[in-house]
Structure 1
Amino acid sequence: MCGIAGFWNPKRTNERDLRSVLDPMLDVLDHRGPDERGSHISVDRGLAIGHTRLSIVGLDCGHQPIASSDRAIVGTVNGELYGYKKIRASLACESRSCDGKSDSAIAIPLYEKYGLDFVHHLRGEFAVVLFDGKRNRLILVRDRFGIKPLYFAINSDGVVWGSEVKAILRHPDHPPRLCPKAAIHQMMQVMVPGSTAFQGVQALLPGHMMVIDLEQNRFESKTHRYWDLNFPVQHETNVDPAEYVQGVQDRLIDAVAARLEADVPVGCYLSGGIDSCSILGLATHLQQSPVKAFTIAFDSDEYDESNIAALMAKRTGAEQELLRLTEKELYGPAFERATWHAERTFYNTLAVAKWHMSRRVRACNYKAVITGEGSDELFGGYAFFRRDYLGKEDRDQILSGATLSEKELSHPAWEDLCGYTPSWIQPWMMTLERVKPLLSQNMRDLLQEYDPVAAVANAIDPEQVRGRNRLDISQYTWSKTMLEGQILTWGGDRMDMANSMEARPAFLDHHVAEYAVQIPPDVRIRDGVEKWVVREAMVDILPRELYEREKFAFMAPPAHTDPVKRQAVQEMLDHWLTDQRLADAGLLEQQSIRDFVSDAWQETDSTIARRNDIIINHALQLHMLHGQYVEDLPLPAVD
């Protein structure tokens, strides 16, 4: 686990110049890897590759950048590559060099053996950057689900990359500027896959590889998808569900076992959901000893699941670390820090809670935890999946305004793509309609020629949804957008690595995923029960109360639920949404946003109030991002 950054610009051929540009890029990624720093400079090529290390595997022998025996190939790896010992032994039997005993060391010899197909032999959460000096070629690879981030920016002079956008923004060729289109997407919550909040900076898509060649002083880049969630056009019928129950159990046990491999202790995140509880149960049995479990508790019974988590901790004998959070921790300096780390807005202070939790994990001398993210995406766990598959329901009212729309909406771009408009995007379409009157005139003019809802639909490969079951379509489109752009960024890597802590989501093991997409929809959601196949696979692991419990959205209490929280938000608004800041950012109309906030605090309809909270969070954070990155304001200290 680490931070990686670098650039390739043949016009920069002065060593002092190369290092003076690379060092600030690494400085801003120090939180991702405080244990060690390394770099590779190739003056004649204008190449600088850097790495900040969080040592988890091969504590004394994992120095990066890594290189081939003849030094012709050099690169960096961020993340974990599982099964590396077996691969290293196999390479040794073929007399192939694999210097170093860390997992990252297998990347280059695999590339030497298989060429660009080496990525198919990687299992885990990773971002890889290799420079092949023999071919004058740069290769960027991101893991199958985008668990590990990798960003890039290309212009006529060269390419810049980094684990986080902030590293690229430290490069002199890419000064920070907020992207107006991205601002609209953040206000409505749904980003276009591959986009970021900043002009000119892109995210390498999950499951993709970019190859950049320099030929006749011109950069030629090609990106291709090496892996995807391939739902079948036709599922098997009249199947015995017991076969799938056993298949899920076997693969999940293997995935958790792989993620327990480390040279430091590995803990578990534990909420009250079946996913994290299943992970803790399996880890306990595999490790054959109690596992350290980390749980967040909120000061609202409606949103707190810690009592269920405590039940699971007791059942497994886990040593539970309980972190109780109130408005004091969720707003103010911690909120600002979480925004800086997220590099985009988030609709709920769960991101801030995750920032606090990773901080507590490190305070307990843990660097790695296994998590339950991905189960809902693969096995149909969300209310909107069930709605698309079974039809409109009266349940899940607590989610209205956040993850379910209270009325049916449609959009022609989504109708053309899917044959219907997925339920997961409908509440964000409603959010967009409430946002439009708040925008500045320039932003409203932009919307005359730009349709953000269609832009998201147009980023989805139609061949991957055409002819599929409605449940498959909903799961696929959500995974291509909100899983990577939300859950695995501000809900995952960015908040975890903010405090130098690695999360390992076992459900997103690609062996689990490739099996899950083959499971018939009526086994994933059976008799109206979401994730039925997972529940059955874990029936002997989970407490009965949890096995029978419906899916509950894990989020922090919104501000409108508590006058103290409302006051905390208002104090931040008073600081960040001044006339001058609103004018400088140019995103919102000053009086409109002030009237909106004033009316929002008086709203009595809980669904509308929840949506208002979301809009206020986004508006606030867009101006924080402008201040933190464009104005380069210092971050506040957190007690």
Structure 2
Amino acid sequence: MCGISGIFSFDSDFVIDSELLKSMNNAQAHRGPNGQGYHIKPGIGLGHRRLSVIDLAGGHQPLYNADKSVVVVFNGEIFNHHDLAKELTALGYNFQTHSDTETIVHAWQEWGVDCVHHFRGMFAFILWDSIKKELFVARDRLGVKPLHYSLLSNGSVIFGSELKVLRQHPLCPNTINPESIEDYLTFGYIPDPKTIFSDVFKLEAGYYLHLKQNENSKELIPIQYWDLPWQANETLSSQEIEEELIERLKEAVEIRMEAEVPLGAFLSGGVDSGAIVAMMSQLQSTPVNTCSIGFDVPEFNETDFAKLVADRYQTNHNVEMVNHEDFDLIDKLIDIYDEPYADSSALPTYRVCELARKHVTVALSGDGGDELFAGYRRYRLHMAEQALRDKIPLSIRKPIFSVLGKLYPKLDWAPQFLRAKTTFQSLALSSSEAYLNSMSKLRVDERENLYSKRFLDKLNGYNSGEVFKRLLKGKSFDDPLKEVQYLDYKTWITGDINTKVDRASMAHGLEVRVPFLDHQFIEWAFKVPSSANLYKGEGKAALKKQLESHVPHDNLYRKKMGFSVPLAEWLRGPLKDKLRSLITSEAFMATGIFQSEKINIMLEDHLANKKNHADSLWTLMMLGLFIERESAK
């Protein structure tokens, strides 16, 4: 696991500023504390920060082929590199190292841009071929590892694992993109390919860039090489699920257990982390190193459930308790994420990565199980609403439920059956529109109520519903659950989950591997029928059924707790002053995004306990923190 950076020019005579490249690369020193390396020639400069995990002696980067005509900097792991090395050796390539990085250069020599189809892993890499004068930049299929880029005014292109790398360059654009603000307030993060800044982008998961030097065209056109199997019509039978699920999961875990440094796993007490620890324990003869954190508030503490799995498999279990008023990290979040990011579970994720790094250098995670096997409560609610949508034509639903959605008050404090405002709104929409409405940090009516006329003019009619429309263009789903799972993979997984874990882990020099995000496992498991995943009101039913002999019953069938913090209480109590100062500050209001009186009404209603605006206010507060940092630069 590492950090990569680069400067490329379409002009082969362009002189690379070596000191500038080093400054860019060193901005991500936390990602690679074990060393750095550079390749600098006219028209191309590559930088690398290394966290040593495989081939400690020989895996230094940049890494070259035999005649040094091909060079690569790489962040991630190619988990099938042994098989690839055998295949490439048989084709006549000589390997000088045992590093998975070397498979990339030889795979490029043999297969060109098709090399990505041969890789099984998590990766972002920048490869330069000095004979072909071609730059090849690729990101893994599920977006586990990040990559940012921007075409500058001088015609050069800059790359970096994190946004802070690009921002070291004096020509990096720094104008905030109004559409990114709208997307952020909707999702709580900025979905790929946008960043907070106009003309600065994230390479989307499953895409690559192929740039050629000394050609007239200087366009950056990302090309998609992989997608989830959304077109698959076949579904798996009960027998296939029973016979294959555990073995396929175990295989996805096994290929992620290679390391020359201490290896372990996160253990939250939930289904997915319990499954990963169970598989690891069956695959190695020594006890698994497991790490859990707990809170001093019982309703947020899962350590007793984590202990059930740890005791069953006799793991080397490490637990730390976190004070529920652990606010010191909040100011660090903008430094870690580089742009507004509103998932409050980033706080405990940072702490569990901090704990894990004390004991291991590589940790396996259970992320991705809920999205693949429909474990979230929101999936069940969506399908319940969808049953009503299917019975009533849109021409009838839209006018009736639109009016009800506008008239019905937002009753966050009320029992669940009375919280109908979002439901009424969703019933007036299509399946994907309804899902976006229910997932939004601030719903479209709430956002538009807060926006100033000046900002609405800047948006020029844009709203974040365009994110889903773009992803669904040309696609048709017979199964509405598969449709929203697909959307989660394209937005939530990459923009929220993977971003959260990558930045939190790399802040501590920790590598995290995610078996549930193995693309071969996903291609198989995405064919599990929705009726098997959501069965008699039980989410993740197919997975839980097959795990019954591997994970304690209480872990499988208890109510899902989630990795959360007491936001509403924080924002009415110890964070009240910080919240108020950030979202009513001069810098915040000087952006011209919001109407100050509308912000104040939301704030005071929450503080007076009239309404629960915790998610919305936390989202605004993190935007305020970003704006404060930017205004100070």
TM-score by length of 2: 0.89
CA contact (8 A) 2:173 2:198 kept: no
CA contact (8 A) 1:81 1:122 kept: yes
Corresponding residue pairs, total: 606
Counterparts of 1:192 and 1:291, CA distance in 2: 35
Structure 2 match to 1:568: 574
Amino acid at match of 2:446: R
CA contact (8 A) 1:346 1:617 kept: no
Deviation >4 Å, runs of 4+: 10-15, 390-393, 396-401, 403-406
Counterparts of 1:235 and 1:404, CA distance in 2: 36
Q: CA deviation at 1:595?
A: 3.6
Structure 2 match to 1:368: 362
Instruction: State the secondary structure of the residue aligned to 1:437.
Output: helix
Structure 1 match to 2:586: 580
Structure 1 match to 2:201: 202
Structure 1 residues 124 and 154, CA gap change in structure 2 (3 angstroms)? same
Q: CA deviation at 1:575?
A: 4.8
Counterparts of 2:580 and 2:237, CA distance in 1: 60
Counterparts of 2:458 and 2:173, CA distance in 1: 23
- Listed as ranges, the matches of 1:224-303 within 5 Å are 224-232=223-231, 234-236=233-235, 240-303=237-300
Counterparts of 2:81 and 2:439, CA distance in 1: 43
Structure 1 match to 2:28: 29
Counterparts of 1:128 and 1:292, CA distance in 2: 30
1:461 aligns with 2:472: yes
Structure 2 match to 1:355: 350
Structure 2 match to 1:2: 2
Match of 2:76 among 76, 79, 84: 79
Amino acid at match of 1:115: G
Counterparts of 2:385 and 2:587, CA distance in 1: 45
Unaligned runs of at least 5 residues, structure 2? 388-411
Q: CA deviation at 1:598?
A: 2.3
Instruction: State the secondary structure of the residue aligned to 1:620.
Output: helix
Structure 1 residues 434 and 421, CA gap change in structure 2 (3 angstroms)? closer
CA contact (8 A) 2:340 2:622 kept: yes
CA contact (8 A) 1:231 1:468 kept: no
Q: CA deviation at 1:503?
A: 0.8
Counterparts of 2:310 and 2:436, CA distance in 1: 32
Q: Which moved more, 1:319-328 or 1:168-177?
A: 319-328
Q: Map Cα deviations across residues 323-355 of structure 1 (whole Å, 9 max, x no partner).
A: 3222442x24x1111222123333342102111
Structure 1 match to 2:551: 542
1:384 aligns with 2:378: yes
Counterparts of 1:404 and 1:88, CA distance in 2: 57
1:487 aligns with 2:497: yes
Structure 2 match to 1:636: none
Instruction: State the secondary structure of the residue aligned to 1:459.
Output: helix
1:55 aligns with 2:55: no
Q: CA deviation at 1:6?
A: 0.8
- Listed as ranges, the matches of 1:50-199 within 5 Å are 50-155=47-152, 157-189=155-187, 191-199=190-198
Structure 1 match to 2:513: 504
Counterparts of 1:398 and 1:306, CA distance in 2: 30
CA contact (8 A) 1:7 1:159 kept: yes
Instruction: State the secondary structure of the residue aligned to 1:128.
Output: strand
Structure 2 match to 1:438: 450
Structure 1 match to 2:534: 525
CA contact (8 A) 1:6 1:50 kept: yes
Q: CA deviation at 1:23?
A: 1.3
CA contact (8 A) 1:348 1:556 kept: no
Amino acid at match of 1:567: G
Amino acid at match of 2:617: I
Match of 1:594 among 575, 588, 600: 600
Counterparts of 1:270 and 1:512, CA distance in 2: 21
Structure 1 residues 218 and 423, CA gap change in structure 2 (3 angstroms)? closer
Q: CA deviation at 1:251?
A: 1.0
- Listed as ranges, the matches of 1:392-471 within 5 Å are 406-410=422-426, 415=430, 421-423=433-435, 425-428=437-440, 431-447=443-459, 449-453=461-465, 455-464=466-475, 466-471=476-481
RMSD: 2.7
Structure 1 match to 2:486: 476
Structure 1 residues 556 and 7, CA gap change in structure 2 (3 angstroms)? same
Counterparts of 1:400 and 1:80, CA distance in 2: 44
Structure 1 match to 2:404: none
Structure 1 residues 592 and 578, CA gap change in structure 2 (3 angstroms)? same
Structure 1 residues 124 and 138, CA gap change in structure 2 (3 angstroms)? same
Unaligned runs of at least 5 residues, structure 1? 633-639
Q: Map Cα deviations across residues 40-82 of structure 1 (whole Å, 9 max, x no partner).
A: 0012x2x110000111111111111111212111111100111
Structure 1 residues 397 and 524, CA gap change in structure 2 (3 angstroms)? farther
Structure 1 match to 2:402: none
Q: CA deviation at 1:525?
A: 2.2
CA contact (8 A) 1:345 1:621 kept: yes
Counterparts of 2:415 and 2:80, CA distance in 1: 40
Q: Map Cα deviations across residues 514-555 of structure 1 (whole Å, 9 max, x no partner).
A: 101222222222333211221122111110112222433332
CA contact (8 A) 2:40 2:46 kept: yes
CA contact (8 A) 1:257 1:283 kept: yes
CA contact (8 A) 1:404 1:423 kept: no
Q: Map Cα deviations across residues 461-493 of structure 1 (whole Å, 9 max, x no partner).
A: 3334x0431111111111111111111112x11
Structure 1 residues 575 and 60, CA gap change in structure 2 (3 angstroms)? farther
Counterparts of 1:112 and 1:35, CA distance in 2: 29
Counterparts of 2:201 and 2:414, CA distance in 1: 35
Structure 1 residues 397 and 115, CA gap change in structure 2 (3 angstroms)? farther
Instruction: State the secondary structure of the residue aligned to 2:346.
Output: helix
Structure 1 residues 12 and 296, CA gap change in structure 2 (3 angstroms)? farther
Amino acid at match of 1:118: C
Amino acid at match of 2:578: M
Structure 1 residues 449 and 420, CA gap change in structure 2 (3 angstroms)? closer
Q: Map Cα deviations across residues 390-421 of structure 1 (whole Å, 9 max, x no partner).
A: 5479xx999979x9984243499x73xxx553
CA contact (8 A) 1:51 1:64 kept: yes
Q: CA deviation at 1:501?
A: 0.9
Instruction: State the secondary structure of the residue aligned to 1:222.
Output: coil
1:308 aligns with 2:318: no
Counterparts of 1:81 and 1:111, CA distance in 2: 14
Q: Map Cα deviations across residues 231-258 of structure 1 (whole Å, 9 max, x no partner).
A: 345334xx64132132111111011111
Instruction: State the secondary structure of the residue aligned to 1:586.
Output: coil
Instruction: State the secondary structure of the residue aligned to 1:488.
Output: helix
Q: Map Cα deviations across residues 343-372 of structure 1 (whole Å, 9 max, x no partner).
A: 3333342102111221222233x2110001
Structure 1 residues 70 and 630, CA gap change in structure 2 (3 angstroms)? farther
CA contact (8 A) 2:426 2:435 kept: no
CA contact (8 A) 2:10 2:215 kept: no
Q: Map Cα deviations across residues 110-133 of structure 1 (whole Å, 9 max, x no partner).
A: 111111111111111111111122
CA contact (8 A) 2:330 2:347 kept: yes
CA contact (8 A) 2:342 2:618 kept: yes
CA contact (8 A) 2:78 2:101 kept: yes
Counterparts of 1:299 and 1:169, CA distance in 2: 39
Counterparts of 1:355 and 1:404, CA distance in 2: 35
